[in-house]
Amino acid sequence: MSDFTRASALLAQAGHIAVMTGAGVSAESGIPTFRGPGGLWRGRDPMTLAAPEAFAADPGLVWEFYNWRRALVARAVPNPAHIALVELARRVPRLTLITQNVDRLHQRAGSRDVLELHGNLAEVRCLGCGATEDRSGESLPPLPQCGTCGTLVRPAVVWFGESLPGDVWLAAESAVRTADLVLVVGTSAVVYPAAGLIATARRAGAAVIEVNLEPTPASGSVAIGLYGKAGEILPRLVTGASS
């Protein structure tokens, strides 16, 4: 039996699937990944752009980076990988979608109740009054201000050194602990604590399937690895799951 057939069978008989996605699921929508070829961190030190200290030192530079990414995301559309996960949620009794991505393409594809471990680019948070505003669809000025109190706002993403939103993290941990199958798609599995969810799932007895262009540090602990483009593998995997 091929790995593909085995993976399809596992999906078809799963009661609760937890899916964890990374930047690779949005790559075919034209959103650059972080660490692959053409990645955002190539030639850049993420700590100079995606960290609170960087923002404190030069908010204009950090906003230039995030405004550039917001414009990219605004022009992007969900790809067959995002759409296959919406379809999978329709076919299984329970699916929890956990993402490290901040582009909200899962939601634009139709996924609901997405657990955003690292926040999102749509919203901004005020450094003064703490208000969170959804500014999706807007192109923001170089130093955007809060609509309520006028203070400088920051992107509502989780930067390096910042803790993940507690409620989201607990929900994600609980999902991988109770799922019988965990599908890990398009992540290099190097950013913690998100990558730790894979080991948590294994310890709880879940089978893990990895979908990626290439093996990752997690590959040694997955039951099945399917290597290729998520936009090609997921639709075939999901339609096969109906049998």
Site residues for ligand BV8 per CB under 6 A: 22-24, 27-28, 33-36, 39, 50, 100-102, 118, 157-163, 186-188, 190-192, 212-214, 216, 229-230
Side-chain-side CA neighbours of residue 33 (13 Å): 19
Q: Does 128 bind Zn ion (CB under 5 A)?
A: yes
118 is catalytic: yes
Nearer to Zn ion, 5 or 132 (CB): 132
Find which of ligand BV8, Zn ion, none residue 35 binds, CB within 5 to 8 Å per kind.
ligand BV8
Residue number, 24 or 235, with CB nearest to ligand BV8? 24
In degrees and rounded to multiples of 5, residue 144 shows phi and psi of -65, 145
User: Which residues on neighbouring strands pair with residue 155, listed in sequence order?
Assistant: 124
Alpha-helical segments (H) within the chain: 3-13, 52-57, 59-75, 80-91, 105-109, 166-178, 196-203, 230-240
Q: Which of 16, 82, 106, 118 is catalytic?
A: 118
In whole angstroms, the minimum distance from the beta carbon of 150 to Zn ion comes to 7
What span, in angstroms and rounded, lies between the C-alpha atoms of 190 and 199? 12
Minimum distance from residue 144 beta carbon to ligand BV8 (Å): 16
Is the CA virtual torsion 236, 195, 33, 18 positive or negative?
Answer: positive
* Stretch 151-180 residues interacting with Zn ion (CB under 5 A): 151
